[in-house]
Structure 1
Amino acid sequence: MMEIIQASFPAKSVGGDVDYRVLLPPDWKQGEQLPLVVHLHGAMSSSASLEAAKPLYEEVFEQGGFPRAVIACPSTPTAEGFYIDWPDGAAWETLVSDEFPEHLAATRGPFTATALIGASMGGYGVLKTAFCDPDRFTAVAAVSPAVFPGETPESVPEANIPSVLGDLHRAMAHGSNDPDTYVGNSVHGRARRNADRIRSRALPILVDCGAADEFLLHEGAEYLHQVLEELDIIHEFRLVEGAGHVGPAADARTRDAIRFLGAALIAR
């Protein structure tokens, strides 16, 4: 059985302590050199999401589809969070992309590779992180990522930005509606800006979304798929018929995303 540990650390990037959970392989020993998987949770959630995912990681690991690895999830806020660096506030993207992995390397490393996985808001977070600096990562898997069918504040239909998605939509421009800031925080914008690096890295990318997503995230996922195809960026796109944002298919899809990361980590 894998062991899960809850801890916290003082994070300069956000000006306070950050709670997190770490999932360790059986009989883990300090100094064992393993890959790191950063697992980002969705909106209105916390590092407790790793507790729910633990049986899925264990199942794929026991089947031989996932290597010995350190898996870690930090608790991040939704409002004034969203895995975004705020100009006059906390830098949540810097936390998950830099400071958190550095803390883990010092306490649980050194690591041989780093992969990213996230769902919903976490899917947005892992894609924007991977596309910002693709050379650092071995693979990225996004399940029902919070991405939109448009690349500017004005081009996203109102139907696609209800409730918390509208908050994310505004947060991407730091509440200013500035198109340059929006594009800078956009998964599509980062894919376009760093397309050459993503292609040369041959970064394994999974985008998975239910075709019946209640928040219409399948429309954003399909738009991203089209952008990646336009940019000739190799990726795996799964549109799961009948599946919603949550529901009976959610565990199976998360399990498949874990297996996708596992294959990339085993093959590296």
Structure 2
Amino acid sequence: MRARVLAVLLTVLALLAGLLAAAPASATGDRATVVSERMVGDRLLELVVRSDALRAEVGVRLLLPQGWRARQGHRWPTLYLLHGCCGQKGGGHRDWTEKTDVAEHTRDLDALIVMPDGGQAGFYSDWLDGPAWETFHLTELRRLLERRYRSGPARAVAGLSMGGFGALSYAARHPGMFRAAASYSGVVHTTYQGPRTTDALRQIVRNFGADPDGLWGDPVADARIWAAHNPFDLARRLRGIPVYLSTGDGRPGPLDPSGSGHDGLEQLLGEQAVALAHRLDQVGVRVVTSFYGPGRHTWPYWERELHRSLPMLMRSIGVPINQ
């Protein structure tokens, strides 16, 4: 009898072990895994991360603080830097380190800086029909960073162009996750003047071979979904954190090559930023603006605005800065 009971128990345990082994990664909360990591500089760590939300492997770059290896038990304040879209001007997790001096400029800061891939036109969202970038960044990657790279609960977020949208949309959609947000030439009002903005945004998605309706649906029929992601419509949810907005107005400026022409995209984004700044002021959000007039949609301005906003971002997460 005892042997029979033991046999039954062993059978049950074997079945349970099989079920656990077959369970999806989401059941354990461990849905992003590091496929590879390599140092590509004294502080710069390149990761390839497998994401269940994206069903793909994507790149992430980390700038490690100087004391990261020595202070094994320390949890590090974290700044997320989000890239923009669209080819030569942006579109990948290496952009910030290859096109700006962010590595040198942050060398003495006691902060972990995270630069994740966001897709060439992913728009930092869980698509209605497509990739789940928001889940990857704010659930999978965040947990991975906390578990493996000692990221702490003090976080700030900043980004350029599409990444400026991501910074403000993420901060507004997830109150309490970020202590400050900054947008440089960001898409901060996705329905500004109706089709003038929505058609341009949908064309960007189309240019990269995706169905524009797969992102947030139709701007009219699915207006609620658009509003649920739009920083302008979410302005009230940014109360309690400082927000930094910067853009040019599209005219050639001091950091543009001689002979540069007018930049219609930067003009549009500048108008969006002005509209959002007024809205943030109306609802009591602490907003700092850097509307610098002449300036096109180019990296020298975004590097400069990172420098200008960095003290605010670092103060919000408790990191001393002498710049």
TM bin, normalised by shorter chain, reads 0.7 to 0.9
Amino acid aligned to 1:234? R
Point out where structure 2 has 5 or more consecutive residues left out of the alignment: 1-40, 207-211, 252-262
Q: Deviations over 1:180-224 (max 9, x none)?
A: 1111121112224x3xxx33xx20211111122720210010111
Q: How does 1:111-130 map to 2 (within 5 A)?
A: 111-130=152-171
Point out where structure 1 has 5 or more consecutive residues left out of the alignment: none
* Partner Cα separation in structure 1 for residue 120 and residue 152 of structure 2: 29
Aligned residue number for residue 289 of structure 2 = 237
Of 203, 208, 212, which aligns to 2:250? 212
* Partner Cα separation in structure 2 for residue 237 and residue 148 of structure 1: 16
Is 1:97 matched up with 2:147? no
* Kept in 2: contact 1:21–1:73 (CA 8 A): yes
Amino acid aligned to 2:51? A
Amino acid aligned to 2:113? I
* Structure 1 residue 46: Cα displacement: 0.7
Is 1:174 matched up with 2:217? yes
Of 75, 79, 85, which aligns to 2:117? 75
Amino acid aligned to 1:182? W
SS of the residue 2:317 aligns to: helix
Summarize the Cα distance change of 1:89–1:59 in structure 2 as closer, same or farther, 3 Å threshold.
Answer: closer
Amino acid aligned to 2:116? P
Q: How does 1:45-194 map to 2 (within 5 A)?
A: 45-52=91-98, 55-62=101-108, 67-79=109-121, 81-148=122-189, 150=191, 155-158=193-196, 160=197, 166-167=203-204, 170=212, 173-175=216-218, 177=220, 178-192=222-236, 194=237
SS of the residue 1:22 aligns to: strand
Aligned residue number for residue 251 of structure 1 = 303
Summarize the Cα distance change of 1:181–1:209 in structure 2 as closer, same or farther, 3 Å threshold.
Answer: same
Larger-gyration structure (1/2):
2
Q: Deviations over 1:134-185 (max 9, x none)?
A: 212121111111123746xxx4252x46755643695653246421111112
Amino acid aligned to 2:175? P
SS of the residue 1:134 aligns to: coil
* Partner Cα separation in structure 1 for residue 232 and residue 301 of structure 2: 27
Summarize the Cα distance change of 1:130–1:56 in structure 2 as closer, same or farther, 3 Å threshold.
Answer: same
Q: Deviations over 1:76-133 (max 9, x none)?
A: 2134x21111123221112222221111111101414111111110000010000112
Higher relative contact order (CA 8 A, sep 6+): 1
Amino acid aligned to 1:51? T
Aligned residue number for residue 18 of structure 1 = 58
Amino acid aligned to 2:248? G
TM-score by length of 1: 0.83
SS of the residue 2:224 aligns to: helix
* Kept in 1: contact 2:78–2:112 (CA 8 A): yes
Amino acid aligned to 2:311? R
Amino acid aligned to 2:53? S
- For these two proteins, the number of residue pairs brought into alignment is 253
Aligned residue number for residue 68 of structure 2 = 28
* Kept in 1: contact 2:168–2:188 (CA 8 A): no
Q: Deviations over 1:47-75 (max 9, x none)?
A: 1113236633532554xxxx311111111
* Kept in 1: contact 2:198–2:219 (CA 8 A): no
Amino acid aligned to 2:233? G
